[in-house]
Structures are given as C-alpha cells and as structure tokens.
Amino acid sequence: MSPDTTANPIRRVLVSGAAAAGETLAFWLDRRGFDVTVVEKWSAPRSGGFAVDLRGAAITVADRMGLLPRFTERSVPMKEVANFDAAGEVVWRAEGNYAHTDGDLEILRDDLTEILCSTNSGIRHIWGDSIVGLAETDGGVRVGFEHAEPELFDLVVGADGLHSNVRALAFGPEERFGKHLGYYTAVFEAPDVVDMDSQMWLCTIPGAMASLVQWGPEAGTRGSFIVAAPHVRALGRAGRADQMRLVDECLGASDAWHVPALLRAMRASEDFYFDEVTQIHMPRWSAGRVALVGDAAYAPTLMSGQGTSVAVVGAYVLAAELAAADGDHGRAFDRYEQRVRPFVERNQQLANTAEEARIPATQQDLDERNAMIRSAMNSTSDHLDDVTADAANAIDLSVYTAA
Ligand SMILES: Cc1cc2nc3c(=O)[nH]c(=O)nc-3n(C[C@H](O)[C@H](O)[C@H](O)COP(=O)(O)OP(=O)(O)OC[C@H]3O[C@@H](n4cnc5c(N)ncnc54)[C@H](O)[C@@H]3O)c2cc1C
C-alpha cells in the first residue's frame, strides 16, 4: 500500500506524456502516495513503431512493478534474424534474437504502452491535451493547457519524447540539445510484400537499411527504412508528405532486395511513424520545479536499442528519489541525475558502437562491416550482445527497495 506522504510538501505532480517513461513514473509516484496527473497529446495511447526491447535493469523495474508476467506473455517471438545483400543473397543469419541475452524481452511498443496505461487506469489522465505555459511561483508551477483550465502543481515532469514540449517551454529549443546522428527512420505496415513467420530480415545498402519484420502468427508484417540524410534537419516534426518524400528521394531509384515493394507499402500505410535519429544531450535535466525523463531528457535513439529500457529505469529512479527526498525536490533531482547520468551516457554510446546498426556510406565499407559481423557471429567468446548487456546493467537498483 502507499506510504504516508502527507508530510511531504510535494503532492501534486503533472507528468506530460503517456508512454514508457511517463507511465512508469506515474505508476511509481502513485504507489508512493503522490497525487499524479498525466497529460497526453493524443486522445488515446499513441500507437505506431516497431517492437522495443526491455533489458537488464529495466527488467528489474518491470519485475518490481509486477508486470513482468504480462510483458512476457505479450513478448514477440523471433525465430531468426537474417541480413541480405541488394541481390537478395544471405550475408549473415542468426537463430532467435541474436541481440538478446537471457531474460531480455522484446515487445511491440503498442502493447507495452497499452499494458502500462491499463495498469495506471486509476490515475488521472487528461487525454488529447498539451501544456502551453509553465509559470513557476513560490508555491508551485502554474500550468496552462491547450484545452483544460489552468492548474497549480508542485512539480511538472516532461516525459513527452524526443520533441518534448516541456523541454522547449522550460529549457529552450530542441536545436540546443539535439545531436542529429544523420539518419531518419520510417516504420509502416507492410502486408503482402513477402510471407514471413517470426523473422526479422534486413538489407543494408550504402546509405540505407531496409527491414521487414513479422512477430508471430497473429501479428502483421511491418517494414522500416533508415536512410542517411545528414544535411536534412528537423524533418521529424514535418508533415507526412515531406517525410515520405525524403525516403523516396533516398531510395526511389533503388531496385535492391524488396525495397520497391516496401516503398509501395510505405506510401499506402495508414500507421506511418517517422522520426529523425537524434540523441538528446542536456547539461542538466531539471530547472526549478520542472524535470525531464526518458527521450525528452536523454534520447539514445533506436540505433542504441536501449531507448525504452533507459526511459523505464530513469523514471523509476526519479520516482524513488522524489519519495526519499522528503519534499526537497532539488535534492531529489540532483540524486536522480547523479545516479542515472552515467547509465545514460553508457547507453547513448551504444548508438555509435553497434556495428550491425551502422549504415556504411560506401560498398567497400559495407563489405568490411559484413565480414566483421560474420566473424563476431561465429565467435563463441565475442558476442555482439555483450556490450549492450553491460550497458543495460550499468546501474545499481539494489539501493532502492522494491516497494
Ligand atoms: C509512435 C512512436 C513509435 C516509436 N517507434 C519506435 C521504434 O520502432 N523503435 C524504437 O527503438 N523506438 C521507437 N520509438 C521511441 C521509443 O518509444 C522511445 O525511445 C522509448 O520508448 C522512450 O520512451 P519515452 O516515453 O521517453 O518517449 P516516447 O515513446 O516518445 O513517448 C512520448 C509520449 O509523449 C507524448 N507527447 C508528445 N508530445 C506531447 C505533448 N506536447 N503533450 C503531451 N504528450 C506529448 C507522445 O504522444 C508519447 O505518448 C517510438 C516512439 C513513438 C512516439
């Protein structure tokens, strides 16, 4: 049951964003006796995207939330990951999910969000709204909403993703903190391209990666592209037509592998997710009574494979530190930062080190990369997943009690 926090002067916390970071934070704050409100821009949990990974310390958090059985039940099967060249010849193939170690989970982002939101159904949510103003006073933060009436909260936490609205309002424009890694990604439904069964197929060509994924008999097939466009900026916030145009410009002339069929599927897709591959690096994750968590504060990108795990762990630590700080939010924010920043930095570095996620610009570099991956796949001592597993566990959560 919730501990007694009636003496704690921080009571009312507003969380912006109803996804991995926001819902994990809301869960733990609610458990610890805070009065939590979540505001989400969309009228229901935001869908779209691929499966995401829970690894290492994030599995510990899921376990402490009592959600591990539900996540495991909905985790997606993966019989094989195979990488093809432009002509459709297999470059390398691995059984199961080669990027996982025992205990890791892969779950559709939609399912993860749905489980978290339904678990938190007793927590107040404002759907279909967004913060438009934050004014800090001695007694709290006066929050203006696009639709709802203004309200006073003790603290506001932005868990609203890469293009965080709270970050823009309280810390400054995204350009100040974003490190564009030079790529854009698109994810979409891809029925009828090819028959698959619990497989992930990838094809890397110079400057781009295409993939097709099917997660078991009940799931449809989704396709994705990652395209190199280092000189194109801020297209993540543009309209769908401009975003598709960029993919077309990068790949429209390609006849590699299933790329033409994937492009047709993308153009016809209803559930189209597109974003820039940008990390967020901030010197500080809080200002006064406003803090950030997850991608809003420290997005590591999909190239790291650790965006969701880092967000879940960060949210857990922030809630624990707020509960332990006895009303001193400044102390809680300091300790949150001390504990989580080394973990974040380690995981952000994965985006630069995962060889199989790298997209070489030339055929020669691509051939060298493929040879390196093949050799690592065949080595029993040097698994590709070791670096990720180490980073995923690079934080000690035993200092926090499970409750
Ligand atoms: C639709 C979508 C698909 C994705 N697909 C993939 C994928 O395939 N692979 C991958 O590795 N990562 C993907 N990601 C990113 C991944 O979900 C995050 O890196 C990770 O889960 C961290 O989660 P987060 O809660 O910090 O941020 P996010 O998952 O980005 O969630 C942020 C939440 O805040 C909400 N929000 C945004 N602006 C506002 C606002 N102004 N007011 C209120 N709420 C707001 C969003 O709608 C969303 O619900 C995707 C993200 C999204 C939003």
Residue 402 lies in a domain: no
Is the pLDDT assigned to residue 382 strictly greater than 50? no
Residue 240 lies in a domain: no
Say yes or no: CB of residue 50 within 6 Å of ligand 1.
yes
What is the DSSP-derived secondary structure letter of residue 263?
A: H
Q: What range does the domain containing 322 cover?
A: 12-76+102-178+279-357+387-392
Q: Whose CA is nearest to atom 13 of ligand 1?
A: 49
Per the structure, the count of domains in the chain is 1
SS3 155: strand
Are the C-beta atoms of residues 23 and 120 closer than 8 Å to each other? yes
Q: State the pLDDT at residue 4.
A: 46
Residue 266 lies in a domain: no
Alpha carbon of 222 to ligand 1 centroid (Å) = 18
Q: Which CATH number belongs to the domain containing residue 163 in this structure? A: 3.50.50.60
How far apart are the C-alpha atoms of 167 and 356, rounded to whole Å? 32
Alpha carbon of 146 to ligand 1 centroid (Å) = 20
More confident residue, 38 or 50: 38
Alpha carbon of 303 to ligand 1 centroid (Å) = 15
Say yes or no: CB of residue 298 within 6 Å of ligand 1.
no
**Residue 165 corresponds to which tokens in the numbers above?**
């609205």
Q: State the pLDDT at residue 403.
A: 54
Residue 400 lies in a domain: no
Q: State the pLDDT at residue 356.
A: 72
pLDDT tens per residue, range 338-380: 999 999 999 999 987 767 778 899 999 999 988 888 787 766 5
How far is residue 104 CA from its own chain's centroid?
A: 16
Q: State the pLDDT at residue 289.
A: 97
Say yes or no: CB of residue 58 within 6 Å of ligand 1.
no
Q: State the pLDDT at residue 381.
A: 46
Residue 323 lies in a domain: yes
Is the pLDDT assigned to residue 197 strictly greater than 60? yes
Residue 372 lies in a domain: no
Q: Whose CA is nearest to atom 11 of ligand 1?
A: 302
Say yes or no: CB of residue 109 within 6 Å of ligand 1.
yes
How far apart are the C-alpha atoms of 360 and 367, rounded to whole Å? 9
Q: Whose CA is nearest to atom 29 of ligand 1?
A: 19
Residue 238 lies in a domain: no
Taking the CA atoms of residue 348, residue 294, residue 236 and residue 355 in that order, the dihedral angle to the nearest 10 degrees is 20
Type of residue numbered 144? G
Residue 29 lies in a domain: yes
Q: What is the mean pLDDT of residues 42-66?
A: 94
Say yes or no: CB of residue 143 within 6 Å of ligand 1.
no
Q: State the pLDDT at residue 219.
A: 78
Alpha carbon of 17 to ligand 1 centroid (Å) = 8
Say yes or no: CB of residue 156 within 6 Å of ligand 1.
no
Q: What is the mean pLDDT of residues 376-391?
A: 71
